[in-house]
Chain A
Amino acid sequence: MTTPWHDLAGDPHDLLPGFLLDALDPDESERFTGHLPSCAACRAELAALSDTISDLASASHVAPPSDVEDQLMASLFGPSVSGGTVDDDAEGIVPAVTPLASHRRRWMWPAAAAAAFILGAGLVATTGVLHVADTSGQVVADGEAQLILDVTSAPDAHFMPLDLPQGTAKLVVSSGMNMGAVMATDLPMPASGREYHVWTVMADGSMKSAATFTPDTAGHVSVMLHTGVNDAAAFMLTVEDPGAAHPTGEMLAEVQV
């Protein structure tokens, strides 16, 4: 039997077993992955041994607690479970998967996410293609609640009061997470059919829809911003018709970063 493994000192082929077993130091690992593209023998050997390793890996089966699956699905799909249409879903998937990469978020889905957040546990989401567990409303709320907790408890959380005529609201941002949230108490309901709308104002003056919400009956709000915060020059709170693409309504507050 031929072997591509040589015993020469420092030979990258020598690193293959350690690579397969995740037993390399980072620099060794880098050296091996650098070597791999140019070495068909190593690639073939890796492929040939991969089943052996995955047999070894799969020898012990232990069913994880069922809430692990729930948490996983919520963390991946929570904010965009609510899309309601196939298009929203397709647009929303990538940003929803990587909550920390909020600069990749498109601002067409915050309205849907906020709507789901408001509708809460009663919402059953079907995307037209996929059926999502009927707890999806709760999942959305839990996923968002967890993110809000993460932002507000971030070591670099920065709280900025929003000066409102009625009620108390604040914006909290974490530059480490590149995320922000709005929290309010005693916020009055907007005029019938209207909603609060947060806009992220960029340095060049352009604006991105960051969140929409209406308070609950007690006037409480806690909602994530669906834009990044690190490139923002300011945030603005207005009242708009649902789904507004640009701020046109009454401006309630603005806070400079």
Chain B
Amino acid sequence: MRINDAILGAVLLVFSLVVGLYARTFPAIPGQEYGASVFPTWISIALGLCSIVLIAGGLRQWAETGAVSLASWARSGHHLRALAITIALVVFYILASTPLGFIPTAFIALAVLFAMLGVRPVLVPVLAVGITMVVHYGFYSLLRVPLPWGVLTPWAW
């Protein structure tokens, strides 16, 4: 998929303006010329200049390429649904891993992914449980990463 550079540049220009304005709100250090806002301000100025160059370049090619040329996957509902599910699973893990615990969350995420990617239905729960427990053993028991227990806290080891 190709998005015209002018659109990317416009988004970046807005982003750099927001960053630059937000950076102005950082408090200055009394008696010092340079505070926390110096680097973000410079970066936003440089990013703004880059985005203007991108816009100029993109507008020149606008006639040939159009605004957005969609790749084949962007028109396929199956692929778009798969992408949405993948992103939703990452968000689900972020939100649910603390209250629900690592083991149930990882099991659900893996089971959904496997089912989506066409693993045989019989194997889905087996693989999901197996891989969850291997990852849990590796990171929790061997590497001592404090993975959350959530609802399984009474049975924690």
Tell me whether A and B are bound partners. Answer: no
